[in-house]
Structure 1
Amino acid sequence: MSISLVVVDDQASVREALAVMLGLADDIDVVATATNGEEAVAAATEHTPDVVLMDLHMPVLDGVEATTRIRAASPSVQVVVLTTFDDDESILAALEAGAAGYLTKEADRARIEQAVRSAGAGQVVLAPEVQRRLLSLATTRRARPAADDRLLSLTAREREILGLIGEGLRNPEIARHLVISEATVKTHINNLFAKAGFTSRADAVRYALSVAGEPAEPGYRRAE
């Protein structure tokens, strides 16, 4: 079964190259292209694709607002950002808008194709440099004490794993970091997803980011 895709970029050469390149994959079907965020929203409404490959900085309507509108109207549509920008503000804005992935335009064909496939399967896709930025942010921020029932319902270990998910770590990396088996990590993730009502890893990443806000206390660091 092929993955339906909308490609969005305001630069014609980039947009057309991406559409041709990704259209060559046997399991990816490019159903439309768009030159700005407004066209992206219209294309997503018309085609309800599995994935939208979204540029960020565009005229008329930027990628962040377009992502917000698409996700609000069609939660099943996954958005993967593909942009030249990898600053903290852009990354957080895109993920908080509902993007399931974030790549820079340095990514090669194989990585972009895999990102589309992973997003179509409901997985979070982060470029290595984006993971490093999220890790850097997380080590200088701590979860603020909030009366959020979802957070309060989690065990200490589940909260710890949620924080690592928010940093962009995958299950094998979490297992190595905590010195536990990958099977145990999966069990904890299944439990915290059930308690918090997450339906995808992207939901968990966005929530983890939303509860990371206050500056770290002096001497605070993530456990090694």
Structure 2
Amino acid sequence: MIDVYIVAEVRLLRDGLAKTLGESPNLRVVASVARCEELDLEPDDGTLPVLLLDVARRICDSGLRSLVAAVPELRAVVLGVEETEAEIVTYAEAGAAGYLPRDGSVDDLVQMIEEVARGELSCTPRVAAALIRRVGSLAAERPPRTESPGLTERELEVLRLVSLGLSNREIATRLYLSLATVKNHVHNLLGKLAVRTRADAAAQYALLQR
């Protein structure tokens, strides 16, 4: 079961999404609010929390960044993204894992929710190209590193799995660790890499492999 949290300023949109997605047997709409600040994110153990954030009316990356920081296993899908490189990079750095363009359908959205819940990045080829260009620009701006920045062997292993898009729960299962231990490793490696999001950590891991 995937727990879905909806954030959209327009009530008609969020009520419509809640009603439509609630009819899917694999989805459970837990909350539907107008702003990120109104959301109380407390996912039940064993569920996969996915946030749907409508960004068609304004940029709201700060609220997304705060939610992802509070609940690292949260997977966020931004709705109504313009697919401009600046906007894509803004939400990628805030922690978004899925990007539904303005002409996306309900079927596209359901598929995207399922993909990000599996730990995959879900986006159009245009968005993927923008993200790849961003990683390339980061590589050009920073000198290549020949060794890890003080990461332990276990932290490097966790970082590799983070770069593959795995959630904390999936990493815990893969490495036979507790969820709390994985969260601690992720917190530590983000600090050592001096980054704030999992996407930034993945970009750093790509640099380490050069």
| TM-score where L is the length of structure 2 | 0.65
1:206 corresponding residue in structure 2: 200
Structure 1 letter corresponding to 2:68: R
Calculate the aligned-residue CA RMSD, in Å: 3.5
Question: Helix, strand or coil: the match of 2:41?
Answer: helix
Question: Helix, strand or coil: the match of 1:126?
Answer: coil
Taking the TM superposition and a 5 Å limit, the aligned residue runs for 1:72-151 are: 72-135=69-132, 137=134, 142-143=139-140, 144-147=142-145, 149-150=147-148
Report if aligned partners of 1:123, 1:200 keep a CA contact under 8 Å in 2: no
Structure 2 letter corresponding to 1:30: V
Report if aligned partners of 1:79, 1:100 keep a CA contact under 8 Å in 2: yes
> Unpaired segments of 5 or more residues in structure 1?
154-192, 214-224
Matched length: 170
Structure 2 letter corresponding to 1:133: A
Instruction: Report the CA distance shift for 1:89/1:150 in structure 2 as closer, same or farther (over 3 A).
Output: farther
Give CA deviations for 1:25-63 in whole Å, capped at 9, x if unaligned. 110011110111212xx332477861111123667xx53
Report if aligned partners of 1:57, 1:63 keep a CA contact under 8 Å in 2: no
Using the alignment, how far apart are the partners of 1:201 and 1:212 within structure 2? 11
> Unpaired segments of 5 or more residues in structure 2?
166-196
Deviates more, 1:136-145 or 1:15-24: 136-145
1:20 corresponding residue in structure 2: 19
Percentage identity across paired residues of the two chains? 25
Q: CA deviation at 1:204?
A: 7.1
1:66 corresponding residue in structure 2: 63
